[in-house]
Structure formats: structure tokens, C-alpha cells
Amino acid sequence: MAIENTTGSNEFATIYTRDSLANDSCQEYDCPQSRVFKIIVIGDSNVGKTCLTYRFCGGKFLENPEATIGVDFRERTLQLDGEYIKLQIWDTAGQERFRKSMVEHYYRNVHAIIFVYDVSSLASFESLPEWIEECVRHSVPPMVPRILVGNKCDLRGTREVSTFSAQRLADSYNFPLFETSARDPAEKEHVDAIFLTLAYRLKNHKPLRLKQPSESSFIQLAGQQENTHCLC
Ligand SMILES: Nc1nc2c(ncn2[C@@H]2O[C@H](COP(=O)(O)OP(=O)(O)OP(=O)(O)O)[C@@H](O)[C@H]2O)c(=O)[nH]1
């Protein structure tokens, strides 16, 4: 059921293999040298941003998540072609009242953006142009990779957004499209593949090492499978 496109160049062809996950992650103290990439996850409230990031960083479906306030941080370190790559994932709040004081921080020094909608919510899909426009307003450079993820594909009976419509929108922005489910255990590897594909893209295009964010005076980054709230 999961699909992905390779719009434009084939830079986004999924290059994940089972081997790349076999020994991909490591504990913080095992990885003295790692490049760090900041990825923000954006979209309407309730589309499953928290569950998707938790699925990738924690390996499980998070039952009963609470609405994100400000931002939650999750990290996962991968070993790609012998190099450690740390993905620092910013799970942003979908609700305006929980995000407005944080928006500037979301976009600062971002390396990649994941736009999420819920395939069972047409409204969340129709909001995407606003989210995309918000990035433009915050001067995110065009070369920063962006991908589109339709979540909750397990809700087959209540789907409101067809793959065709989503693909058309993705094509209009030249974004790769992925459809998946944070809930469905069978989709676990596909969720991994989405993030890994982005990680490979970043690894090959970003030579510079990112310092810890300047916001670190008020933001504590959490361990690999935990998260931290920031309400600023
Ligand atoms: N059926 C189904 N439900 C999901 C899936 N992912 C998340 N959910 C549910 O959707 C609801 C919202 O999930 P969250 O991950 O908190 O959504 P969010 O986008 O982070 O929401 P905000 O923090 O308010 O921005 C929860 O009830 C989840 O259990 C999925 O893949 N399938």
C-alpha cells in the first residue's frame, strides 16, 4: 500500500535497504563523530506527526499521544556508509495556539521539512499549501529538501484523499510523496525508509557539521527514544 514517487530527478528514489537498518542506530556515547541534521515535521493538528516521529525514533506506535505544545524533540543516529548521521527531529505543534511563539525557532537552520497530512482528512490535505507558504515566509531556502507524507493509510474505509490527488499536489511542488501509517506495524520499515531516504539525501548534500542549536539554553535535547517539550 505504501507508495513513493521519484518526481524530477531520482535523488529521492528510496535507497533504504534492510541491511542499512540492521546496525543503523547507536547510542549517543558510541558515536563521537556524527553530523547532525535538523528535520522539522509540520502539518495540521491530529494528522499523526508525533506518532510518525515516535515510530521512527522509538520503534513503536505511541498510544494516546497528547497534543504537542511548542515542540517535541526526538533523535535517532544512523550509520550510513560507515558514517554516523544524527537526525534531530522537531515534532512541531499543529495547533496555532501551541506553536505561535515557536515558529521562528522551527525554521531556523532547518535542513529538511516533512509535511504531513491525514489521508482520512481532506481538510488536513487542503491545509498543505498554507504550511508550504509558511516555510516560504520564513525564508527557508529552496534547496532544503521537502517531502509530503500522507499518514493513517490503515484507515482504508474512511479515506478522503486519493493517492491521485496527493500525487498531483506533490508534483505541482516537485516534492516526493509517501503514504504510510504510523499505527500499522507492517508499515514500520516504510516509516524508517522515509526518514532514511531523507538522511541519505542530506548526507550527500550537506558537508557542514551543524552545531547544537543556539536555542539550547532553553531547549534540552532528549535521548534517542525520548522526547522533551518546549513551551516558549
Ligand atoms: N488510525 C491511525 N491513527 C493514527 C495514526 N497516527 C496517529 N494516529 C492517531 O491520530 C491522533 C493524533 O496523533 P498525533 O501524533 O498526536 O498527531 P499530531 O499531528 O502530532 O497532533 P498535534 O500534536 O496536535 O499537532 C492520535 O489519536 C493517534 O493515535 C495512524 O497512522 N493511523
| Model pLDDT for residues 134-192, shown as the tens digit of each residue | 999 999 999 999 999 999 999 999 999 999 999 999 999 999 999 999 999 999 999 99
Q: Where are the beta strands (DSSP E) in the chain?
A: 3-4, 35-42, 71-80, 83-92, 112-118, 146-151, 177-179, 228-230
Q: Is 98 in the pocket of ligand 1 (CB under 6 A)?
A: no
Give the nearest ligand 1 atom to 182 CA.
31
Q: How confident is the model at residue 222 (pLDDT cuts 50, 70, 90)?
A: very low
The average pLDDT across 31-41 equals 84
- Confidence at residue 100, expressed as pLDDT on a 0 to 100 scale: 87
Is the Cβ atom of 194 under 6 angstroms away from ligand 1? no
Average predicted confidence (pLDDT) for the chain: 82
Measured in Å, how far apart are the chain's first and last C-alpha atoms? 39
Q: What pLDDT digit, counting tens, does each position of 189-204 carry?
A: 999 999 999 999 998 8
Confidence of residue 209 (pLDDT cuts 50, 70, 90): low
Residue with cell 525520548: 226
128 CB under 6 A from ligand 1? no
DSSP conformation class of 172: H
Position 96 pLDDT exceeds 80 = yes
Other beta carbons less than 10 A from residue 13's beta carbon? 12
Q: Which grid cell is 169?
A: 499536489
Over residues 113-122, mean pLDDT: 98
Provide the Cα torsion 123, 124, 127, 132; round to 10°.
-160
pLDDT of the residue at 30: 53
Average pLDDT over residues 87-99: 95
With a pLDDT cut of 70, the percent of the chain lying above it is 74
Answer whether 65 contacts ligand 1 (Cβ < 6 A).
yes
160: region left, alpha or beta (phi > 0 left; psi from -120 to 50 alpha): alpha
**Residue 158 Cβ contacting ligand 1 at under 6 Å:** no
* DSSP code for 210: P
The CA–CA distances, whole Å, from 227 to 14, 32, 220, 222 equal 27, 21, 9, 5
* ipTM here: 0.99
Q: Provide the pLDDT for residue 205.
A: 77
pLDDT confidence of residue 23: 41
pTM: 0.83
Tell me what the mean pLDDT of segment 76-83 comes to: 92
- CB of 150 closer than 6 angstroms to any ligand 1 atom: no
Burial class (CB in 10 A: 0-12, 13-18, 19+), 224: middle
Ligand 1 geometric centre to CA of 83 (Å): 32
Does residue 176 have its Cβ closer than 6 Å to ligand 1?
no
pLDDT at residue 221 tops 70: no
Instruction: With a cut of 70, say whether residue 20 has pLDDT above it.
Output: no
Q: Distance from the CA of 10 to the center of ligand 1, in angstroms? A: 30
